């Protein structure tokens, strides 16, 4: 009996070791190999972005914070404070050292993208803003949300240019086309609208298959855009002929989507906490797991080698691109 009892600790240790090994193998198979976890937010992260030169990253969330990060060290540079209520979106200017954020207080706030110092405040709407986009030359930005109006502003002199009305539901997606005068908007559930924002006119509209829009992103060359949706997943569209190219077979329901710099891949963030890297054909390249709860936002680095994601767990994670 003594001999048998002396084996119990050994057997117990072996059992624990086996469990650890099985978990480790499961973790590898699930893709739990993030490069870094960035901790700075105290609540849900709603939006992430890379600066055009790849030196900075930004994130925003329900804790009223915009966090500016050093992309080479993954260290926090600045907590940008000023918003009242959740911050829904951040976007870097394509031409100036400028970061913009928009949120529940109806303001767009402008920050120095190197230091995080505040550069200005635009009182855009009396209601919450959900999306924001810079024109390709960085001189103009569009913001929209709960009031169902697209607000066009001049960045250089903080001047309202015009408002575009036509959506019947909250606006969750905005993107400028590469021709600098065309703008695409996506209502929460009432379809797409195409605009000549310079003339203030709607040029076309299109219904969407059933589902709720979460985000809209264009390819770097402006030839296509992708919509992240609940219901019908990720759908691709051709911009020149305004044609729905259909859903990505491996896309699944998505909260956020972004194109790689060469336009050949997509990154997506999903309700189950996963982050996916896909070919634009829909083929799955890699699936990562690391967020607890929903993965809410995604962005490609300008060199295409990494992506960052934000989640309902308040974390920003950085992942390698295969």
For residue 10, the tally of other CB atoms under 10 A from its CB is 9
- Strand partners for 90: 101
Question: Whose CA is closest to 81, among 97, 68, 69?
Answer: 68
pTM, two decimal places: 0.88
The percent of residues above 70 in pLDDT, for the chain, comes to 90
Tell me the average pLDDT across 252-259.
Answer: 93
pLDDT the model gives residue 179: 86
For 41-77, how does the pLDDT look when each residue is reduced to its tens digit (9 = 90+)?
999 999 999 999 999 999 999 999 999 999 999 999 9
For 162-210, how does the pLDDT look when each residue is reduced to its tens digit (9 = 90+)?
999 999 999 999 999 988 899 999 999 899 999 999 999 999 999 887 7
Assign 3-state DSSP to the chain and report helix, strand, coil percentages, each to 5: 10, 50, 40
* CA distance linking residue 85 with residue 103, whole number of Å: 7
Residue bearing the bigger pLDDT, 82 or 252: 82
- Strand partners for 70: 56, 75
The total number of residues written for the chain in this structure: 322
Contacts of 103 (CB under 8 A, 6+ apart): 60, 64, 83, 85, 86, 87, 88, 89, 128, 129
At residue 7 the predicted structure's pLDDT band, cuts being 50, 70 and 90, is low
- Strand partners for 81: 65
pLDDT the model gives residue 121: 97
pLDDT the model gives residue 241: 87
At residue 15 the predicted structure's pLDDT band, cuts being 50, 70 and 90, is low
CA gyration radius, the chain: 21
Between the CA of residue 246 and those of 89, 132, 218, 240, 251, what are the distances in Å? 26, 25, 15, 16, 11
Backbone φ and ψ of 179, nearest 5°: -80, 0
The percent of residues above 90 in pLDDT, for the chain, comes to 80
pLDDT the model gives residue 5: 44
Contacts of 21 (CB under 8 A, 6+ apart): none
* CA distance linking residue 46 with residue 59, whole number of Å: 8
pLDDT the model gives residue 180: 81
At residue 100 the predicted structure's pLDDT band, cuts being 50, 70 and 90, is very high
Mean pLDDT (the chain) is: 90
* CA distance linking residue 266 with residue 219, whole number of Å: 10
Residue 21 pLDDT > 50: no
For 137-163, how does the pLDDT look when each residue is reduced to its tens digit (9 = 90+)?
999 999 999 999 999 999 999 999 999
Residue bearing the bigger pLDDT, 54 or 15: 54
CB 197 within 8 A of CB 142: yes
Q: Where are the strands (E) in 155-271, listed by range?
A: 159-165, 171-176, 182-187, 192-196, 201-206, 212-218, 224-230, 234-238, 243-247, 254-259, 265-270
């Amino acid at each position: 009996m003594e001999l048998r009892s002396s084996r119990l600790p050994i057997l117990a240790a072996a059992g624990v070791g086996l469990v650890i090994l099985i978990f480790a193998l499961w973790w590898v198979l699930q893709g739990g190999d993030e490069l870094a976890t960035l901790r700075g937010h105290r609540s849900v992260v709603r939006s992430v972005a890379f600066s055009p030169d790849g030196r900075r990253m930004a994130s925003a969330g329900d804790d009223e914070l915009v966090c500016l990060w050093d992309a080479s060290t993954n260290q926090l540079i600045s907590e940008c404070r000023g918003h009242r209520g959740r911050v829904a979106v951040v976007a870097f200017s394509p031409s100036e050292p400028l970061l913009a954020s928009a949120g529940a207080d109806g303001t767009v706030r402008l920050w120095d993208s190197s230091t995080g110092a505040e550069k200005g405040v635009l009182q855009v709407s009396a209601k919450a803003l959900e999306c924001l986009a810079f024109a390709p030359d960085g001189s103009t930005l569009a913001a929209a949300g709960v009031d169902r109006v697209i607000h066009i502003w001049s960045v250089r002199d903080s001047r309202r240019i015009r408002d575009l009305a036509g959506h019947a539901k909250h606006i969750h997606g905005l993107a400028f086309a590469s021709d600098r005068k065309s703008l695409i908007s996506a209502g929460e559930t009432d379809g797409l609208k195409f605009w000549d924002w310079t003339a203030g006119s709607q040029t076309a509209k299109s219904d969407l298959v059933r589902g709720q829009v979460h985000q809209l992103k264009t390819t770097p060359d402006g030839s296509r855009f992708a919509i992240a949706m609940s219901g019908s997943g990720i759908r691709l569209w051709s911009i020149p002929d305004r044609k729905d190219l259909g859903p990505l077979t491996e896309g699944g329901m998505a909260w956020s989507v972004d194109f790689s710099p060469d336009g050949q891949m997509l990154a997506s963030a999903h309700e189950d906490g996963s982050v996916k890297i896909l070919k634009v054909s829909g083929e799955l390249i890699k699936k990562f797991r690391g967020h607890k709860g929903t993965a809410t936002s995604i962005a490609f680095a300008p060199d295409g080698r990494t992506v960052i994601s934000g989640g309902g767990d308040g974390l920003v994670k950085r992942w390698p691109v295969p």
